[in-house]
Amino acid sequence: MPPSQQQQQQQSRYKILAFLLIFAFVFFAYNIINTNNNNKNTITDRKMSKAVAVLKGEKVNGVIKFTQESSSSPVSIDIEIHGLEKGLHGFHVHQFGDTTNGCISAGPHFNPHGKQHGGPQDENRHVGDLGNVEVTEAVLKSTMTDKVISLFGEHSIIGRTMVIHADEDDLGKGTFEDSKTTGHAGARLACGVIGVSQL
């Protein structure tokens, strides 16, 4: 075989080897990056978050604690409220974390998706629509879970305001003018800004 042909074959082998090495390097790097991203997502999903709101009003006060095991888990809500009359009372997360002018400064229900007011089990509901709490004793102690509110992400309820109302929330099913916006739940008896709490 002429030397020139041998040289060409050798160069071809070098080119193939170089191509294989580059391909192997790219494949290896891609797998490392992909694995790291998956690990980050897993860690984020496992991260627990807790929050608390201290409710204050003229005659009503209480503490609401929120726990979410991960960004894909429902939120567990522990409720303790003093001073409520017996019966059902509307219980909502409101838009703003502002109580400078009392509970009215908290604005409307937290509703980032522009939906109508509804009950906790309704598909068409505000994010902040947690329905009612039922008072049977002097001190209300209760728990609930909700799959719509979250302590994670851009629509987190942290920094917003928890409000307890004077009357029953009709869950948007009533015939009052404000049934589709507030559930006709009446005055705001007590409220508190939802803040991050220690894990």
Report how far residue 50's alpha carbon sits from residue 76's, in angstroms, rounded to the nearest whole number: 10
Report how far residue 37's alpha carbon sits from residue 132's, in angstroms, rounded to the nearest whole number: 41
Residue 126 appears among annotated catalytic residues: yes
Q: Of the residues 89, 125, 129, 167, which is catalytic?
A: 129
Q: Of the residues 89, 125, 165, 184, which is catalytic?
A: 165
Residue 117 appears among annotated catalytic residues: yes
Residue 92 appears among annotated catalytic residues: yes
Q: Of the residues 13, 46, 78, 92, which is catalytic?
A: 92
Would you put residue 128 in left (φ > 0), alpha (ψ -120 to 50) or beta? alpha
Query: Residue 35: what are its φ and ψ, rounded to 5°?
Result: -65, -40
Q: Of the residues 46, 78, 98, 109, which is catalytic?
A: 109
Q: Of the residues 94, 125, 160, 184, which is catalytic?
A: 94
Torsion 100-141-128-160 (CA) sign: positive
Report how far residue 111's alpha carbon sits from residue 46's, in angstroms, rounded to the nearest whole number: 26
Residue 129 appears among annotated catalytic residues: yes
- The token pair at 132 is 């009612």
Q: Of the residues 89, 125, 160, 188, which is catalytic?
A: 188
Q: Of the residues 126, 146, 160, 170, which is catalytic?
A: 126
Residue 113 appears among annotated catalytic residues: no
Residue 89 appears among annotated catalytic residues: no
Q: Of the residues 89, 117, 125, 184, which is catalytic?
A: 117
Closest by Cα among 105, 184, 113 to 150: 113
Report how far residue 152's alpha carbon sits from residue 69's, in angstroms, rounded to the nearest whole number: 10
- Residues recognised as catalytic: 92, 94, 109, 117, 126, 129, 165, 188
